[in-house]
Chain A
Amino acid sequence: DVKVTQSSRYLVKRTGEKVFLECVQDMDHENMFWYRQDPGLGLRLIYFSYDVKMKEKGDIPEGYSVSREKKERFSLILESASTNQTSMYLCASSVLRDTQYFGPGTRLTVL
């Protein structure tokens, strides 16, 4: 079974803090993705990566950055957290052009 893990299930941070969300997959997938999910808006793509050290902006990259130093790990970074970044963050991975498998999600609250 594909396993995608995320470093935290629940996270509470203060405005202005730097936040790291980690995602690790154990199936040697090339592609990894970061989404946020908000009520009524569905899943929106923040960033994705199709190879180590490669990254591409998704639909809503503003306020976020990513890092992929190793194939199995994809990190989402909030340089200076703001209250409008309170959301559920979901990581996914896939083999090239195949179904995406999701991690359990991180519910981030920014106070």
Chain B
Amino acid sequence: EDKVVQSPLSLVVHEGDTVTLNCSYEVTNFRSLLWYKQEKKAPTFLFMLTSSGIEKKSGRLSSILDKKELFSILNITATQTGDSAIYLCAVEGVTSYDKVIFGPGTSLSVIP
């Protein structure tokens, strides 16, 4: 059965800390892994990862995929209170349709 597992489920850190969020998956015919940030409303897209070992960066956020071990990490350096959100990991499999399987999310709280 296809599934996505995220850890930790919740995390509280102080501003300036560095955090690492984990995502592991099992999916038939893997196509890509996606990271989303969700604040008060809908998820917003962060990264799409398709190849192992290639780090994607956007400001203080970075992510990398390991297709052999079936996991990805999302790093946030020098955290700010505005980073407080739920971070969702999702995986796409190659099927006849674009089915995406989401993990439960990691709730990150950054306190001053």
Contacts and interface: CB of A to CB of B under 8 A. Distances in A.
Contacts of B4: 42
Helix, strand, loop or mixed for chain B's interface?
strand
Contacts, number: 50
A94 interface: yes
Contacts of B90: 43
Interface in B78-109: 88, 90, 97-100, 102-105
B88 A43 contact: yes
Contacts of A31: 97-98
Helix, strand, loop or mixed for chain A's interface?
strand
A55 B100 CA distance: 16
A99 B100 CA distance: 10
Nearest to A99: B45
A35, A94, A100 — which one has the most chain B CB atoms within 10 A of its CB?
A: A100
Contacts of B88: 42-43
Interface residues on A, range: 20 to 34
Nearest to A102: B42
A90 to B, nearest CB: 6
A42 B34 contact: no
Contacts of A90: 42-43
A56 B103 CA distance: 21
Contact of B43 (A48, A50, A102): A102
Interface string A75-111: 0000000000000001000101101111111000000
Contacts of A96: 98
Contacts of B48: 99
B106 to A, nearest CB: 10
A44 B99 CA distance: 11
Interface of A: 4, 31, 33, 35, 40-45, 48, 50, 56, 58, 90, 94, 96-97, 99-105
Closest 9 CB pairs of A and B: A102-B42, A43-B102, A42-B104, A42-B102, A104-B41, A105-B42, A102-B43, A104-B42, A99-B45
